[in-house]
Structure formats: structure tokens, C-alpha cells
Structure 1
Amino acid sequence: MSDLERRYQRLIRIWYPAAYRDLRGSEIAGTYLALSSPDQRWPSTADVIDLAGGGIRQRLRAFGATGIGAGSQLAATLALVTATALAGAWTMLELNPWTTPWFGFDQHGSYVSLGLGVWAAWLLAGVVHVAAPGRWTRLTIGLALFLTVAVVPLAAAVDRFRPPLFVLLAQACLGLVALGVPGRLTLWLRLLPLAGAAAALPAAAMAAHDGGDAFHGHYGWPAEQILPDAGIALLLVALLVGAGRAVRSDFRGAWALLVLLGPIGMLWLHPLAEELAVGLYGGGPNADWTTLAIAAVIVSTAAAAMIVSTTSIARRRTAFPRVHAAAERCAAGDSLPSNRAKR
């Protein structure tokens, strides 16, 4: 066994459930090996993302949550639209020129933080989604997700300004869901992320104009307004899509809403942290790092609990007809000897 095959097998052991791994593990590894170059020694980033996505889907099927797999694809599309729309808004705000009075003179300029590179990567993901859906799109989303996380230590190392943690955390949660975006979509559906980014530009420009010099390189005031509004919009769209599908007895929209509860909660993280600060410290709301961290833990725990409880209920309802049918067959089988004895 080569080093590359051994590394693929290790990834398969990490992501796939044991039963599926024993049945198809060698076949999966053989497929990736056949597509690799002769001198390749490590799995590519795209292969790692593909294996992770496939393994998570199989684990969901093994758990009995088959509906959440189909719903996650719809949730991924909505998450990518929201992520690119926010990236467009933050890009507009970063590039917005500012004017500050200084000793009777107006000082003009602009402030660009390290976040601009992060938002450019998310906009690139929207472009790649149109031109090369599927594997390349997930690879670009993975790159944007990596930059969203890496900008925090990078800003500390070079002593440069970066977007606040609650902005980056909301973007990262949307990105994690967006990794499941399907590759086989019609062109107009693939254009939705770019359309969302374009639609966010005038809204961001209006926020920058209304805020005057409030932005000036800082995300505080606009982010506290834009992120909750984006959460409401995402919730309403998910509800409308779910209701439309439910009319046709298609409940993927309900599963998609369940998957999106975490990102929606993270979009509301700052207002939740402010309410938490009032409860903990009293007085006016003042969300600090501690209250933001506590609010993030509460949102994550609540979203995970909702998913686990819903999938458990769905699994029991799916298993009940099989158990009931088996009980009926056993009852019928048990009656045969007694009938024969009577005869």
C-alpha cells in the first residue's frame, strides 16, 4: 500500500461510518487513487472536502436522518447566497471613502482592513459557483472559510485591523453550511449568490451614507444593523421555500431550516450578547468578549440539540412501521402451530 493510499484510507476511517467503510472503503480509495497524478503524495484539498462531505452524508443516513441530507443541499445554497451578499456589503463598506474634520479642515481618505481579502475570496466563490459548480466551488468555499479563520491570527501578527469576531463567526458558520452546495443546479440558481452580492451593494452604500463617519474602518454600527437583518431575511426565505415545498409534500425545506438555525443564530449573536450582558451585569447593553462567547455557545448548543432531537424523532417514526409489521408477522407465525395442533 502506497503512502497516498494509506492517507486516503485514514481519511475514510475518520469520516465514514464503519459499516459503509467496510463495504465501500476500498472502492472509494481506489477511485481517488485512479484520479490522482503519478507523483502525488498527499490528498488534494478538494478530495479532503469531498470525502468529508460524503462521510457526513453517510453518517446521517446511518443515523436515520435521511431527510436532512437533501435539506442540507437547499440550506447550502441559501447559506452561500447569504455569505456572498454579506461579502458584497462588507466590501462596499471597506471601500467607502470617509471625511473627518480636523482643526477646521476636512481630512479625506479610505480605510481598508485585512477583511477585504476575506470578502474577495467569498465573492470569488460566487463566481466559481457559476463557472465551475461542484468540486471547484467547494474548494473555493473552503479557501474562503480558511481565510475567514486565518485572518484573526494574521491581524494579530501584523498589527492590522480586521473585522470583529462576531462578523467572522457568522461568516464562518454560513461557510460551513455552504460547503454542501450541490453541483448540479440550473444556471439561474447558480447566479443567485452573485445576485445577492449585487443586491447588497446599494443597501451597504445607504448604510455607509446614513452612518456618516460611523464606519471609518470599524464594523461596529453597520454590522450590528446588517447582520440581524440578514438573519431575518434568511429565516423568512427559508420559511417561504419550506412552505412552498411542503404544499407538494416535499419536506426538504423544513430540514433546510433546521440546518440553518445555527447560522441564523450567529447572525443574531451581537443582539443576543447584549441581552445577556444586561442580564449578567445590569445597566445598558455592553456586549464584550465574554458575553459574545457565552452567546455563541448557547446558540451552538441549542441548534445542535434541535437537530439531534428532530433526527431522533424522525428515526423513530421511520422505524415504527417496520417494527409494527414485524410484530404482525411474528404474531401470524406464532398462530400457525396452534392452528395445526387443533387440526
Structure 2
Amino acid sequence: MSDLERRYLRLVRIFYPAGYRDERGTEIVGTYLALSSPDRRWPSAADVTDVAGGGLRQRLRAADATGIGPGVRLAATLALLTATALAGGWAMLELNPWKTAWFGFEQHGTSVSLGIGVWAAWLLAAAVHVVAPGRRTRLAIGLALVLTVAVVPLAAVVDRSRPPLFVLLAQACLGLVALGVAAQPPVWSRLLPLAAAAAALPVAVAFARHGDNGYYGWPAGQVLPGAGMALLLVTLLGGVGLAARNDLRGAWALLVLLCPIGMLWLHPLAEELAASLYGGGPNADWTTLATAAIIVVIAALIVMSAVLMVQRRAAVTHATVVRCTACGSFTNHSRKR
């Protein structure tokens, strides 16, 4: 057995459920080997992604959760809409000159930070979604995600200000879900993110009139939880409407969006955590923010795992006693619910 075959087998063993890989694992590996060049020693990144995607689909099929696919696409649309609306609002606050009173003197300045490039990338992704949905949109979202993460070390290197971590974490979490956006959505669906960004501009202007320094004043603490509540309500109401037509996309979308919604509430959660830990009301620091973020992720994973487990148990075979018409004996047969 070659090193490449052994590595493909390891990938199949990691990603595919046991029953399926025992039945089809050799065939899957053989297909990848046949398509690989003779001198290749490691699976390509595209093959690893393909194996992971195929394994996930089989695990969802085994849990009778194949309906999660349309739910992910709905969640991705809502996540991209929310991320773009926030990016439009934050960009407006970045470009807004601020003024504050300090010991009786009025001070002026600008709130532009490295975040302006991050928000421009998200607005670009929304524009690409209109003209080139599918692969190009996912590439644009991926670029915006990379910039959202990279701005943290970049700001430290060049000694420039950046958006707060809790703002970037919420944006990154929304972006990860947005990667599942549909390849060929209808035109009205493609226009929604840009429309949301345009609708956010008057709200940002209203915040800017207070003279606060962007997200470093009180806007972020108000906007992000409000955006999380709006996302939750829209998903719930949409899910109820879809469920009335026996369509469970809304329920799956809500499960997928639990983590982004929790991240939008990250700062208030971290403040509550800091107050409970330190017995007072200190501002949330990076340790309490990190702890709150871990709690949100773990809670979302637990809820998703529990739902999938219940779904799988509901889909397992149920024994039914059937009388044989030829011999008159009774035997157990299994059927899917």
C-alpha cells in the first residue's frame, strides 16, 4: 500500500460514517487514486475538501438530516445580509469625524482605522453576489473573512487602531455561515445584502450625530445585540411560515445561526460574566470575551448535536411483526419511519 493510498484511507476513516466507509471506502479511495498523478504523495487540498464534504453529507443522511442543506442556504443568505448591513453601518461610522468634550474643551478627530478595509471587503462581497453568485461570491466572502481575521495582527504590527475583537468575532462568525450561500439564488435574493447595507446607512448617520467615536463609544454595544435580536426574530418568523407549509428549512437555519446570534450578543454576555466573576461591573476584557465566545460555541454545538441525535433516533429502523402468508410464522422486519 502506497503512502498516498494510506493517507486517503485515513481521510475516509476520519470523515465518513463507519457503515458507509466499510461498504464503499475502498471504492472511494480507488477513485481518488485513479485521478491522482503517479508522483503525488499527499492528497490535494481540493481532494481533502471533497472528502470532508462527502463524509458530512453521508453523516447527515445517516441521521436523516438531509434537509439541513436548504436550511444552511437560507441561514447563509440571512448571515450575509446581516454581515453586509453591519459592514455598511461600521464603514459610515469609520468615516464620520468625531468630537468630544474633555475638561471643557471640544476635541475633534477621525475614527478611521484599519477596519475600513475590512468593511469595504464585505461590501465588495455583497456586490459580487449580485453580479456573480456562486463560486466567485464564496471567494469574495473568503477574502473578507481573511481580512477580518488578519486585521488583528496587522494592527499590532503597524501600530494602528482596529475594530474591537467582539465586533470582528461576530463578523467572522456571520461570514463562516455566509460561505454556504446558494450558487444560483433568484435576483431579488441577491439584492438583499446590498439593500440591507443601504438601509443601515441612516441608522449609522443617527449614531454619528451623537458624536461617539464609532464602535469605541456606545454604538457597538447597542447595534450588535439589536442585530442579533433582529436576526433571531426574522429566522423564527420565517421558520414558522415555512413550517406551516411542512418546510423545515427555517428550523435548520435557526440551528445553524445559533452561534452567530450568540456572537452578536458576545459583549453583553462577557460583561455579565465579568460581573459574576469579579463581583462588580468591570468592563469585559479579552479573557472574559474569549471565555464567553467559547461558551457560545460550545452551547451551539451541544444544541446542534442534540437535535441531530434526536433526529437520528427518530430515523432508526423500527421492528414490526409481519406474518408470513406461506408458512404462517411471524418474523421481524425493519422499516424506516
Q: TM-score normalized by structure 2?
A: 0.82
Matched, 1:219 2:216: yes
Q: Is the 8 A contact 1:9 1:29 kept in 2?
A: no
Aligned partner letter, 2:236: L
Residues 1:328 and 2:324 are matched in the alignment: no
- Given that residues 141 and 178 in structure 2 are in contact (C-alpha distance below 8 angstroms), is that contact kept between their aligned partners in structure 1? yes
CA contact 1:8–1:43 (8 Å) conserved in 2: no
Q: C-alpha displacement at 1:295, in angstroms?
A: 1.1
**Structure 1, 145-154 or 20-29: larger mean CA deviation:** 20-29
Q: Secondary structure at the match of 2:185?
A: coil
Name the CA distance, whole Å, in 2 between partners of 1:180 and 1:200: 23
Q: Partners of 2:15 and 2:93 in 1: how far apart?
A: 39
CA contact (8 A) 1:262 1:303 kept: yes
1:194 counterpart letter in structure 2: L
Structure 2 distance, partners of 1:70, 1:54, is 16
2:89–2:197: 8 Å Cα contact kept in structure 1?
yes
Aligned to 2:156: 156
Please state how far the C-alpha of 1:12 moved relative to its aligned partner: 7.6
Q: Which residue of 1 aligns with 2:188?
A: 188
Q: Does 1:317 align with 2:308?
A: no
1:201 to 1:44, Cα distance in 2 relative to 1, 3 A: farther
Which residue in 1 is equivalent to 2:287?
290
1:101-140 equivalence runs, <5 A: 108-140=108-140
Shift of 1:64: 3.3
Mapped pair 1:60 → 2:60: yes
1:258 to 2:249 alignment: no
One-letter amino acid matched to 1:328? V
C-alpha distance in structure 2 between counterparts of 1:89 and 1:143, whole Å: 20
Letter in 1 for 2:207: A
Deviations 1:235-267 (A, max 9, x none): 010011101101101111011111111100110
Which stretch shifts more, 287-296 or 107-116? 107-116
State the Cα RMSD in Å.
3.4
Superposition deviation, residue 317 in structure 1: 1.2
The answer to whether the 8 A contact 1:7-1:43 is kept is no
The Cα of 1:335 is off from its aligned counterpart by 9.3
**2:207 aligns to what?**
207
Aligned residue number for residue 99 of structure 1? 99
Q: Which residue of 276, 279, 282 maps to 1:279? A: 276
Q: Matches of 2:274 and 2:325 in 1, distance apart? A: 65
Correspondences of 1:30-49 after superposition (within 5 Å): none
CA contact (8 A) 1:57 1:69 kept: no
What displacement does 1:61 show? 2.5
Query: Is structure 2 residue 146 aligned with structure 1 residue 146?
Result: yes
Higher helix share: 1
Residue ranges of structure 1 left out of the alignment (5+ in a row):
34-40
SS of residue paired to 2:218:
helix
- In structure 2, runs of 5+ residues without a counterpart are 37-41, 331-337
Name the SS for the 1:66 alignment partner.
coil
What CA distance in whole angstroms lies between the structure 1 residues aligned with 2:107 and 2:5? Answer: 60
Aligned residue for 2:77, secondary structure, equals: helix
Instruction: Give the equivalent residue in structure 1 for 2:71.
Output: 71
Offset at 1:111?
2.9
SS in 2 for 1:299: helix
User: 1:70 offset after TM fit, Å?
Assistant: 2.0
Change (3 A) 1:12 1:215: farther
Deviation at 1:337, TM superposition (A): 5.9
Q: CA deviation at 1:128?
A: 0.8
Q: 1:29 to 1:267 in 2, by over 3 A?
A: farther
1:269 maps to which residue?
A: 266
1:124, 1:49 → 2: CA distance? 26
1:268-307 deviations in Å (ceiling 9; x for gaps): 0111111111111112242112211111111111111110
Kindly tell me: are residues 140 and 59 of structure 1, through their superposed partners in 2, closer, same or farther at Cα, counting changes over 3 Å?
farther
Q: 1:68 to 1:29 in 2, by over 3 A?
A: farther
Secondary structure, counterpart of 1:328 in structure 2 = strand
Which AA in structure 1 matches 2:192?
A: L
Looking at structure 2, the residues matched to 14 and 222 of structure 1 have their Cα atoms a distance apart, in angstroms, of: 44
Distance 1:292 1:105, change over 3 A: closer
Of all paired residues, the percent bearing the same amino acid is 66
User: Normalized per residue, which structure has more strand?
Assistant: 2
Supply the AA of the counterpart residue of 2:318.
V
Write the distance in 2 (CA, Å) between the matches of 1:146 and 1:5: 32
Moved more, 160-169 or 98-107: 98-107
C-alpha separation between the residues in 2 aligned to 1:285 and 1:310?
A: 36
State the partner residue of 1:307. Answer: 304
Decide which moves more: 63-72 or 172-181: 63-72
Name the residue aligned to 2:335. none
1:68 positional shift? 1.9
Shift of 1:179: 0.7
